[in-house]
């Protein structure tokens, strides 16, 4: 069975983006970017692969899922399939699938759809965002891969934007980068 992996950047105070969806406050440097691009390049937008002259490794997952607000970050810039190297699924009840033929727009219950998706043949599935979808899909998340940045946001979109629902996780690996980022990976306990 395929696993759902929530791979995302997060601040020390648990925010994946600012109140208006900002994410440019996360510090990066050349060495950190190089290492992450090599190891986690599947999570880069296709346009960035092209700009950097690299090929997506397709070693982590073959499918990406996201909510409408996360998807809008690309469409607002004229990019209707930000991850064309992956099967892209957008959960939305407000988008018309016919208007976005480059991706799969799913209006049905995300949990039921994810359960069926995990039964299909293929590699793992990347939950790219956002916080509301993560809260909805929380029971289906098998692994967390959190890039914990040494910054506090103060406000913004939480990692899981839902109600009180404690879940236990087991740390399976961690790695510290020179710029202070910690990549922590967890499995459901």
Tens digit of pLDDT at every position of the chain (189 positions): 999 999 999 999 999 999 988 999 999 999 999 999 989 999 999 999 999 888 888 999 999 999 999 999 888 888 999 999 999 999 999 999 999 999 999 999 999 999 999 999 999 999 998 899 999 999 999 999 999 999 999 999 999 999 899 999 999 999 999 999 999 999 999
Of 40, 39, 91, the C-alpha closest to 67 is 91
**Residue 76: predicted pLDDT:** 87
List, in order, residues 6 or more apart from 74 with CB less than 8 Å away: 45, 80, 81, 82
Query: Looking at 24-168, which runs of residues are DSSP E strands?
Result: 63-67, 87-91, 104-106, 125-129, 143-148, 157-158
Contact 96, 160 (CB under 8 A): no
- Largest alpha-carbon pair distance within the chain? 46
* Phi–psi pair at 86, nearest 5 degrees: -125, 160
What is the reported pLDDT for 126? Answer: 98
Tokens 């700009």 found at: 51
Percent of the chain scoring above 90 in pLDDT = 84
d(CA 178, CA 182): 9
Residue 22 CB neighbour total at 10 angstroms? 13
pLDDT value of position 73: 87
- Give the CB-side neighbour count of residue 174, counting CA atoms within 13 A: 9
**According to the model, what pLDDT value does residue 57 have?**
86
């Amino acid at each position: 069975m395929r696993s759902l992996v929530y791979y995302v950047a997060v601040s020390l105070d648990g925010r994946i983006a600012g109140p208006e969806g900002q994410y440019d406050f996360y510090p990066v440097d050349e060495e950190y970017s190089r290492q992450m691009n090599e190891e986690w390049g599947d999570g880069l937008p296709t346009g960035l692969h092209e700009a950097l002259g690299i090929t997506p490794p397709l070693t982590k997952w073959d499918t990406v899922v996201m909510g409408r607000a996360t998807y809008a970050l690309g469409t607002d810039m004229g990019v209707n399939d930000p991850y064309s190297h992956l099967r892209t699924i957008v959960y939305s009840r407000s988008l018309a699938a016919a208007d976005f033929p480059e991706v799969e727009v799913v209006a049905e219950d995300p949990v039921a759809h994810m359960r069926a998706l995990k039964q299909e043949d293929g590699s793992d599935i990347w939950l790219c965002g956002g916080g509301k979808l993560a809260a909805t899909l929380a029971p289906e998340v098998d692994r967390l891969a959190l890039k914990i940045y040494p910054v506090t946001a103060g406000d913004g979109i939480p990692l899981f934007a839902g109600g009180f629902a404690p879940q236990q996780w087991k740390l399976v690996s961690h790695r510290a980068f020179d710029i202070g980022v910690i990549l922590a990976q967890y499995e459901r306990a």
